[in-house]
Chain A
Amino acid sequence: MNGARIELKGAAYRYDALVRVPDLSLAPGEAVACIGPSGCGKSTLLDLAAGIKVAHDGEVSYDGEPWRALAETDRRRRRLHEIGFVFQEFELLDHLTVKENVALPLMLQPERADAESEPIAALLDAAGVGAFATRRPRHLSHGERQRVAICRALAGTPRLVLADEPTGSLDPDTARRVLDLLLSFVRDRGATMLAVTHDHGLLDRFDRVISFDQVSGSGAPAGNETAGGTA
Chain B
Amino acid sequence: MKTALLLAWRSLAYYKVRTLLLVGCVALVVLLPIAVQLLVGAQSRALQARAQATPLVAGAKGSRYDLVLNGLYFRGRTPALTSMAELDAVRATGFAEAIPILARARARGRPLVGTTPDYYRFRGLRAARGTLPLILGDAALGADVARELNAKVGDTIGTDQPNLYDLGLNYTMNLSIVGVFAPTGTADDNAVFVDLKTAWIVDGVGHGHDPKATDDTVLKREPDRIVFNEKVRKHERITPKNLRTFHFHAPPAELPLTSILVLPHEDKSATKLKGRYRVSKTGQLLVPTGVVAEILGFVFQVKRFFDAHVALVGAATALFLVLIALLTVRVRRREIEALRRLGASRFAIARIFGTELALAVSAGAILGALGGVVVFLLWMS
Contacts and interface: CB of A to CB of B under 8 A. Distances in A.
Interface of A: 50, 52, 73, 76-77, 79-81, 83, 85, 87, 89, 91, 93-96, 100, 104-105, 107-108, 110, 113-114, 136
Given A107-B3, A108-B348, A113-B3, A95 B14 contact: yes
A77 B335 CA distance: 19
Contact of A107 (B6, B334, B335): B6
Contacts of B337: 91
A92 to B, nearest CB: 8
B344 interface: yes
24 contacts: A73-B345, A76-B343, A76-B344, A76-B345, A79-B343, A85-B341, A91-B334, A91-B335, A91-B337, A93-B7, A94-B14, A95-B11, A95-B14, A96-B10, A100-B6, A100-B10, A104-B342, A105-B342, A107-B3, A107-B6, A108-B343, A108-B344, A113-B2, A136-B14
B339 A108 contact: yes
Contacts of A77: 343
A96 B7 contact: yes
A108 B344 CA distance: 6
Contacts of B15: 95
Contacts of A136: 14
A50 B345 CA distance: 15
Contact of A95 (B10, B338, B339): B10
Interface of B: 2-3, 6-7, 10-11, 13-15, 334-335, 337-345, 348
A87 B14 contact: no
B13 A80 contact: no
B338 A83 contact: no
A80 B335 contact: no
B342 A85 contact: yes
A3 B11 CA distance: 35
Nearest to A84: B342
State the main secondary structure of chain B at its contact with A. helix
Contacts of B14: 94-95, 136
B11 A80 contact: no
Contact of B338 (A80, A91, A110, A114): A91
A135 to B, nearest CB: 13
Given A91-B334, A95-B11, A95-B13, A50 B341 contact: yes
Given A107-B3, A108-B348, A93 B338 contact: yes
Contacts of A95: 10-11, 13-15
B343 A105 contact: yes
Nearest to B340: A52
Nearest to B349: A108
B10 A108 contact: no
A83 B344 CA distance: 12
B269 to A, nearest CB: 76
Nearest to B6: A107
A216 B81 CA distance: 99
B336 to A, nearest CB: 10
A102 B7 CA distance: 13
A110 B6 CA distance: 13
| CB-based closest 4 A-B pairs | A80-B343, A95-B14, A91-B338, A79-B343
Given A93-B7, A105-B342, 12 more contacts: A76-B343, A80-B343, A87-B338, A89-B334, A91-B335, A94-B14, A95-B10, A96-B7, A96-B10, A104-B342, A108-B343, A110-B3
A94 B338 CA distance: 12
B65 to A, nearest CB: 60
Contacts of B334: 89, 91
B3 A108 contact: yes
A52 B345 contact: no
B324 to A, nearest CB: 17
Contacts of B2: 113-114
Contacts of A83: 343
A104 B3 CA distance: 9
A81 B344 CA distance: 10
A87 B334 CA distance: 11
Contacts of B344: 76, 80, 108
Contacts of B335: 91, 93
A52 B342 CA distance: 10
